[in-house]
């Protein structure tokens, strides 16, 4: 479940709100990759800290651990909500950083393609030889794959003719 800006103001301090506020769209799109990486590190630290506090608050609620300092007062739900807010901001930041990296990779690829095309166009092509006065003899015929005729063609029909003659003698 995402949290709106009003919910973030309710759960975060001013310093944390400044970091998380820049992870929303209009400000996020204006940051470059270096600033996004720096913000990602800060958001990870804040998320990890909120996760630890939420873990200790859950242990306190179950009666498994001693209560922590007074400054970390509040419910475990409050602490986990803060962790969720930081996780969402980190997710937005990672996604924007990934978009920037994909755009840079695409630009590098397109640049490589354009460079290769320019090299190809500049390459000196070999000239085709002139046809000359005489034509090429043309295509060569492929040898036939059918087997050679062993019998004399005049002898091919003699077996069937002998069969016809024998049948005629029997019928007469």
Domain spans in the chain, listed from the N-terminal domain onward? 5-96
Above 90 in pLDDT, residue 90?
yes
Q: Picking from 19-28, 39-48, 68-77, 115-124, which range would have the lowest pLDDT averaged per residue?
A: 68-77
* Digit-coded pLDDT (tens) for 97-152: 999 999 999 999 999 999 999 988 888 777 776 666 666 677 777 888 887 777 77
Q: What six digits make up the tokens of 20? A: 């998380």
- What does each C-alpha distance from 143 to 47, 69, 137, 146, 152 come to in angstroms? 79, 97, 17, 9, 21
- Exposed/middle/buried for residue 38 (C-beta within 10 Å: 0-12, 13-18, 19+): exposed
Average pLDDT over residues 70-80: 70
């Amino acid at each position: 479940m995402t949290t709106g800006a009003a919910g973030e103001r309710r759960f975060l301090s001013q310093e944390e709100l400044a970091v998380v506020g820049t992870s929303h769209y209009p400000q996020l799109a204006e940051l470059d990759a270096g600033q996004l990486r720096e913000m990602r590190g800060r958001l990870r630290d804040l998320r990890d800290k909120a996760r630890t506090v939420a873990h200790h608050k859950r242990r306190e609620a179950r009666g498994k651990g001693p209560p922590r300092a007074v400054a970390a007062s509040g419910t475990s739900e409050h602490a986990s909500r803060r962790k969720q807010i930081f996780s969402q901001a980190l997710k937005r930041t990672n996604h924007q950083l990934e978009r920037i990296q994909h755009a840079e990779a695409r630009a590098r690829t397109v640049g490589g393609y354009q460079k290769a095309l320019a090299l190809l166009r500049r390459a000196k092509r070999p000239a085709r030889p002139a046809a000359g006065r005489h034509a090429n003899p043309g295509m060569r015929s492929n040898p036939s794959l059918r087997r050679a005729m062993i019998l004399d063609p005049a002898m091919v029909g003699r077996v069937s003719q002998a069969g016809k003659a024998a049948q005629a003698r029997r019928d007469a």
